[in-house]
Amino acid sequence: MTGAERKRNAVWRKIQAVRFEDIKAWCLGRLPIVKWLPIYNWKENLVPDTVSGMMLAIQQVTQGLAFAILSSVHPVFGLYGSFFPAIVYAMFGMGRHVATGTFALTSLISANAVERLVPSVSVNFTMNNTSRVLGLSEFEMQRIGVAAAVSFLGGIIQVVMFVLQLGSATFLLTEPVISAMTTGAATHVVTSQVKYLLGMKMPYISGPLGFFHIYAYVFENIRSVQLEALLLSLLSIVVLVLVKELNEKFQRNIKIVLPIDLLLIIATSIACCYADMEYVYGLEVVGHIPEGLPSPKVPPMNVLPEVVTEAFGVALVGYVASLALAQGSAKKFKYTVDDNQELLAHGLSNVIPSFFFCIPSAAAMGRTTLLYSTGARTQVACLISCVLILVVIYAVGPLLYWLPMCVLASIIVVGLKGMLMQFRDLKKYWNVDKIDWSIWVSTYVITICFAANVGLLYGVVCTVVIVTFRFPRAKTLNLKDVKEVEYKYKTEDNCESLKQIKIISVNNPLVFLNARKFHTDLIKIIQKDSRSSQPCEDMTKVGCAICFSN
């Protein structure tokens, strides 16, 4: 029997050894909802989950409309993007306080593909050349087709990463890298909304140094600023910031926060309608929003080769941001999440909704914070929010015709406050480790000059270089300037107090790259001290206290 035949026989024996129970257990392990839903405590959890779900639905609707605009597609697709991904993640995800939906960073990345492949021909969202789908124009359907293709391919990449078990590779995505990348991307998002805040007619500007070109264009055309849009934007931002600050201040005393986003949308829509601001002052409004859910349709496969770069950006940036929120939730409420299972959950949350004209999705810090503050217990809160979003899609959506675009831009900018406040991390990194501070600053600058996915790649490369060259050179020192140390070492055979205590200091974290060197240094220190004092026959009886320092 040849070697190839032996390998084939071994593989066949392994396949035959797989039982139906094993396949069933694996499939059930991929569906966490079948584990927690049957034991759901309806008496204790339903009320807080319902309250949280109601508040979450309000935020999902407002963010869906806003981030759809950010993604350069019709606002109604943001409503779909707040509905379908949340249902899929509730079935496959493990984060109890993770609300998947539209996300500013993934929307900004997909907008690059949309604007590149289907450039703007008009500033209006509804055109005369209507298609048979949802009554929208062919132009709008082409744009959402590109965004859906980015979502589809990004989800496929995440599912492939799950199959390859690459969830654990996130150890290279250190805290400074994630903080700098998300802060830089948030700065990009704010910059992209300047044209709406100022009421300016501005062409889409992207590419290297596009951030600076946008502000150069604004200053060159400062006289074209629409005063009415600017005043309404400033008023909206002031109201949003003040009310949200009051909500945070008194959130311990009140269980239900004031839904200022929703109230602002209602108030400005009514005012714009009755004052006829669209025609009197020329304010840009959302326009017609179709009713109901669309029939499923396969994303355009012919554009997949042209959106590979954006798809990788959506897959990596979306997963990194979502995983950080899931791990933070697990740490706060003392449960565990599987990194690879989260890859599958977010991958399917992008693939399946892409058939329903959804933009790329991910978890968002604002929604997770809302679930914390309103006392959500499980993913039931997200499912309840989906029911309310469905009501909006079928009944309330058409009433949003008069919503001013500058108000949506204000909601986006204020919603990014948490990410922008990460600038405060610079002081912490400066005090702890100057190298981490340098990584933060350089990653932020690269993100600003290029894009979020480029900044993330740069940060990972920096991390790999530093880990490779710094950690293997970690110094292991024997601390002798200790007056007295008492340490008792117990074994199964006897219990004795050891006098030979070694206190070791390591000036870097222990990782796989320097673990072997640390072990060798440790043995050398023990052997050297043993020879200089008294012989130690059994090395395993030497106690060590290890001190890690920066």
479-499 pLDDT, tens digit each: 554 444 444 434 444 444 445
Which neighbouring-strand residues pair with 101? 362
What mean pLDDT is reported for the chain?
82
Domain boundaries of the chain, sorted by first residue: 22-121+134-425, 474-483+502-523
Write a three-state SS string for 200-213. CCCCCCCCCCHHHH
> Running DSSP on this structure, what letter comes out for residue 299?
-
Share of the chain above pLDDT 70, in %: 79
Global pTM? 0.79
Q: How far apart are the C-alpha atoms of 161 and 350, rounded to whole Å?
A: 14
- Can you tell me which residue has the tokens 């084939």? 8
Report whether pLDDT(179) > 80.
yes
**Which among 431, 429, 448, 449 has a CA at the least distance from the CA of 439?**
429
Please answer whether residues 229 and 272 qualify as being in contact, where contact means their C-beta atoms are separated by less than 8 angstroms.
no
**Which among 359, 362, 347 has a CA at the least distance from the CA of 154?**
347
Report whether pLDDT(212) > 60.
yes
For the segment 180-191, what is each residue's pLDDT rounded down to a tens digit?
988 998 899 899
Please answer whether residues 66 and 412 qualify as being in contact, where contact means their C-beta atoms are separated by less than 8 angstroms.
yes
Q: How far apart are the C-alpha atoms of 263 and 167, rounded to whole Å?
A: 40
Supply the pLDDT for residue 280: 86
DSSP string, 131-155: -SSTT-BHHHHHHHHHHHHHHHHHH
Supply the pLDDT for residue 130: 58
Confidence band for 161, pLDDT divided at 50, 70 and 90: very high
Q: Could you tell me which residue, 346 or 247, shows the higher pLDDT?
A: 346
Tell me the three state secondary structure of residue 510: coil
User: Once rounded to an integer, what is the mean pLDDT over residues 200-205?
Assistant: 86
Please answer whether residues 95 and 325 qualify as being in contact, where contact means their C-beta atoms are separated by less than 8 angstroms.
yes
Supply the pLDDT for residue 471: 62
Q: Which residues contact 331 (CB under 8 A, 6 or more apart)?
A: none
User: Once rounded to an integer, what is the mean pLDDT over residues 97-126?
Assistant: 81
Q: How far apart are the C-alpha atoms of 486 and 370, rounded to whole Å?
A: 49
Supply the pLDDT for residue 537: 46
For the segment 402-432, what is each residue's pLDDT rounded down to a tens digit?
999 999 999 989 988 888 888 988 988 888 7
Supply the pLDDT for residue 482: 43
Supply the pLDDT for residue 536: 46
Report whether pLDDT(128) > 90.
no
